[in-house]
Amino acid sequence: NNQKSDSRGALIVLEGLDRSGKTSQSCRLLSYLEGLGHPVESWRFPDRNTGVGQMISAYLANKSQLDDHAIHLLFSANRWEKRSLMESKLRSGTTLIVDRYSFSGVAFSSAKGLDFEWCKAPEMGLPAPDLVLYLEIPPEVICSIIMFVGEIRKAAERGGYGGERYEQLEFQKKVARSYQMLYDASWKAIDAGLPIEDVEKQLREMVIWRSQTFDLKFLVLGSL
Q: Which CB atom, from 52 or from 213, has the smaller least distance to ligand TMP?
A: 52
CB of 7 to ligand TMP, least distance (A): 29
Q: Which of residues 90-129 bind ligand TMP (CB under 6 A)?
A: 100, 104-105, 108
Judge residue 139's burial from the number of C-beta atoms within 10 Å of its C-beta, 0-12 exposed, 13-18 middle, 19 or more buried. Answer: buried
Q: Which CB atom, from 18 or from 130, has the smaller least distance to ligand TMP?
A: 18
Q: Which of residues 155-174 bind ligand TMP (CB under 6 A)?
A: 164, 166
CB of 189 to ligand TMP, least distance (A): 18
Contacts of 193 (CB under 8 A, 6+ apart): 136, 137, 138, 141
Q: Which CB atom, from 8 or from 123, has the smaller least distance to ligand TMP?
A: 123
CB of 57 to ligand TMP, least distance (A): 8
Residue 60 lies near ligand TMP (rule: CB under 6 A): yes
Q: Which of residues 7-26 bind ligand TMP (CB under 6 A)?
A: 18
Residue 58 lies near ligand TMP (rule: CB under 6 A): no
Q: Which CB atom, from 66 or from 189, has the smaller least distance to ligand TMP?
A: 66
The candidate with the shortest Cα–Cα distance to 207, out of 133, 135, 136, is 133
Q: Which CB atom, from 74 or from 206, has the smaller least distance to ligand TMP?
A: 74
What is the per-residue binding string for ligand TMP in 124-153, x denoting contact by CB under 6 A?
A: ------------------------------
Binding site for ligand TMP (CB under 6 A): 18, 45-46, 60, 75, 100, 104-105, 108, 164, 166
